[in-house]
Structure 1
C-alpha cells in the first residue's frame, strides 16, 4: 500500500454541447436562447471629394453645405374638382365645419354678466343755450375776419406785411407834429468838413394832397404809389442865411410797390434829375418868405421800402437869390465840388434833413429802431 498523499479529485468541466447544425430536424429541442437580430447599418452617404485648390495656388474654397430639400407645396385645386380623401399627402387643411361642431375661429358666446358691464354711449341732448353761444362765436369770428380784410383793402397793404409797415401808413395823423418835425434839429457832423449844425423850425404847412405841392412831372413819377397825405415844414440855420423845406409824402402802396419804386429811382437816378426837384414851402413873415422855385439850390429825395413814405428836402439861400444851376445833394457833397450850393453847404443841409426825417419815421413805426 502506497503512503503518498492522494490529490483531491477535480471535477471535469462539462463538455461543450456542439452547435446544432442548420439541417437539424424540426423535432430537435434546443434550449439555447436566440441571439438578438443585428440592426441594419445606416446607409453611408458617398464621400464628397475634397475641394480642388485654385489654379493660382491660393487657399481652397470653403465647402458648400448640402442643400436641404423640402417637399413642394401642392398645386391649387381647380374649381369643381372634388377634394381628395387622403389629406396626409396633399398638405391641404379642411376648415369645413363638421356636424355638431362650431364654426372655426368663432368667438365664444358672451354671458349676461358681460352685457351688464358694457357701457353704452347715449346721445347728448341739444341745449338751446349752447346753440346760441356757438352762433354768437361764429358771427364774431366772421366779423373779425371781414374787418381785417377791409382794413387791408383800405390801406393797400398786402397780406403778411410787417406790422411796422402797416403802422407807418397811419403816422401822418397819429404821430405828434413835434415828433415828425422837431422844433430844433441838431446835425452832429452834418456840415461841410464834419461841422456840427443846428436848424430851427420856422413854418409848418397844413397837411394837403400832392397835386399842387409837387412838380407835375414828379407827381406823375410817384403816381403808382399814390398819395395819401403830404406834410411839410421849413427850417433855417443859426445864422439865418439858409432855408430848407422837409417833406413827408405818405403813399397808399404796399411794400412790394414801394420796393419797386425805390429800385427805379436808384436804377434810373431819378433823384438827381432837375426836372424832378421837389418844391419848397415859403411862409409869409418868416425867413423863407422869398423861398420859391427859382431859389432852389440843392435837394435830396429818398423812397423808403420799409415804410409807405417818400422823404425829401430842398434847400436854398435865405436872402432870396436865384440859383441858375441847382445841384443834387449827392453831387454837392462830393469831394472837390466847387459850385455855389456845394461851397455854401446847401447839399449837406438837404442830405442831413432827409436822413434824419427818415430815421424819425422808422423810430415811430419801429420802436426798436434807434433814432438819429
Structure 2
C-alpha cells in the first residue's frame, strides 16, 4: 500500500500566503528630510509653496472590495506629488571666479517647520545646489612645504674659497695690453730641450758621416780587402766541420741534374805544401807561396765513388792570386794530366785502395777573392784502374762517352769543388754564391 493512502484521511491545510515586502517606516512629520548626497537645504521663506495638485476622482477606499488572503497584493507607498518644472540650467559658469574664502561660513540656523512638499522637490534642490558645484574651487590652497630644519649647533665651517674673477676683456675699440718681454720669452726648460735635440741630431749625423768616410759600416757589406785578409786565416780560425762539412748536399750536381750526397770519411792533418802530398802540382803553385794545406776524402751515397779534396792557403796578395789564375787559364794547366792532384787513401775506409792509378777525373780552382786554391780528384772505390782520366769540365759536357762522364765521376769532382770553395768564401766573410746548403 502506498504512503499516500496512509494520509488520505488527514485534514487539508491551506497553503501559507507569501510574506508581503518590507515597507520602511515613514519618518516623523517634524523631522527635516535629508538626501543621500546633498546637505540639508533650508526652506526659503520668500518663495511661496507650490499649489497642491488636484486629486483625481477615484473610487473611495470604502467602495473597494477586499480580495482573498491568497491573492491580496502588497501594499504600495503613497505617490509623491509631481513637482513643477525646474528652471533652466546656466550654459556655462561665470567667467569671474569667486573670491577665495578664508574660512567656511557658519551653518545657517535650522528653520522652523515648512511644508515638506516644497522642500522635497527636485527643482528646489537643483536651484539651491550651485554652491556644491564650486566646492572644489572653494577649497583652501595646499599648505606650503615645510621649512628646512635649522643647522645643527657647532662651530661654523670656514667659508668656501672664492674663485678669482676672470680678467676683464677689453672693449672692441681698445687695444689688448701687451705682455711683458719676460713673459713672452721661452722658459729655461724649453731652451734646454731645444739644445738637447740639436746636440742629439749632431751626434747622429757625425756618427753617420764617420762611418761613411771610413767606408766600413758596422752592418754593411765587407770590403774586398777585409775579405782577403780574413781569408788568409780562415784555415786557422774556422772549425774543420765548417770548412769540410761531414755531409755535403749537391742539388742537381749529378748527371742529368740528379741530386748528389757526399759523406766525409777521412781528414788529413794540416801540412806543408810539398810534392809528397800534391805531386807535380805543388811546383806550379809554388810562386804564390804556401801557408797551409788541408785535405779530406768523401764517398758518394752508393759508396762506389771516392773523392779527395784539397785546400791550399797561399801567401800571395790579391795581385799575386790574379797572376796565378791568369797563368793557369792561359796555359790550361788545370787540364794537364801530369798535374793531377794526389788522392788521400785512408786505411779502413772505402778509399783505402784509392791511389794514383785509380784517378778518373779532377779539377783545380784558383780563387782570386780569397787566397785559397781548391782542387779535387775522383775515382772508383773498388780500386779499379783508369787508363783514360778526363778533366771534370770536359766530363760534364753532354754527349761525352768517357768513363769519367758515363759514371758521373766528373760531376762528383766538379760539384764537390764548388761546395768547398763556397765554404771557404763564407768563412772569409763572403756569403755563399750558390743556393745549395752544405751541412
TM category, shorter: 0.5 to 0.7
SS at match of 1:186: strand
Distance 1:205 1:346 in 2: 22
SS at match of 1:302: strand
The residue that corresponds to 1:302 in the other structure is 365
Distance 1:335 1:201 in 2: 28
Contact (CA 8 Å) 1:363, 1:370: kept in 2 or not?
A: no
Matched, 1:204 2:204: no
Contact (CA 8 Å) 2:308, 2:343: kept in 1 or not?
A: yes
**Partner of residue 337 from structure 1, selected from 391, 400, 418:** 400
How far the C-alpha of 1:161 sits from its partner, in A, is 6.8
**Partner of residue 320 from structure 2, selected from 257, 262, 269:** 257
Distance 2:315 2:224 in 1: 13
How far the C-alpha of 1:197 sits from its partner, in A, is 0.7
Residues 132-177 of structure 1: CA deviation (Å, up to 9, x unaligned) = xxxxxxxxxxxxxxxxxxxxxxxxxxxx970100100101111011
The residue that corresponds to 2:225 in the other structure is 162
How far the C-alpha of 1:370 sits from its partner, in A, is 4.7
Matched, 1:184 2:247: yes
**Partner of residue 289 from structure 1, selected from 348, 352, 366:** 352
The residue that corresponds to 2:278 in the other structure is 214
Distance 1:307 1:245 in 2: 21
> Cα distance 1:239–1:330, how it changes in 2: closer, same or farther (>3 A)?
same
- The correspondence of residues 18-37 of structure 1 with structure 2, limited to 5 A, is none
Matched, 1:268 2:337: no
Q: State which structure, 1 or 2, has the greater radius of gyration over its C-alpha atoms.
A: 2
How far the C-alpha of 1:268 sits from its partner, in A, is 1.1
Contact (CA 8 Å) 2:224, 2:369: kept in 1 or not?
A: no
SS at match of 2:268: strand
Structure 2 alignment gaps of length 5 or more:
1-222
Distance 2:346 2:406 in 1: 26
Distance 1:370 1:165 in 2: 16
How far the C-alpha of 1:202 sits from its partner, in A, is 0.4
Residues 272-305 of structure 1: CA deviation (Å, up to 9, x unaligned) = 0000110110000000000011110000110011
Q: How many residues align?
A: 212
Residues 297-317 of structure 1: CA deviation (Å, up to 9, x unaligned) = 000110011111100110000
The residue that corresponds to 2:410 in the other structure is 347
Distance 1:324 1:199 in 2: 25
Distance 1:280 1:191 in 2: 21
Distance 1:294 1:254 in 2: 36
Contact (CA 8 Å) 1:301, 1:313: kept in 2 or not?
A: yes
- The correspondence of residues 1-372 of structure 1 with structure 2, limited to 5 A, is 162-211=225-274, 212-215=276-279, 217-370=280-433, 372=436
Distance 1:225 1:340 in 2: 34
Residues 5-47 of structure 1: CA deviation (Å, up to 9, x unaligned) = xxxxxxxxxxxxxxxxxxxxxxxxxxxxxxxxxxxxxxxxxxx
Distance 1:260 1:367 in 2: 22
TM-score when normalising by structure 1: 0.56
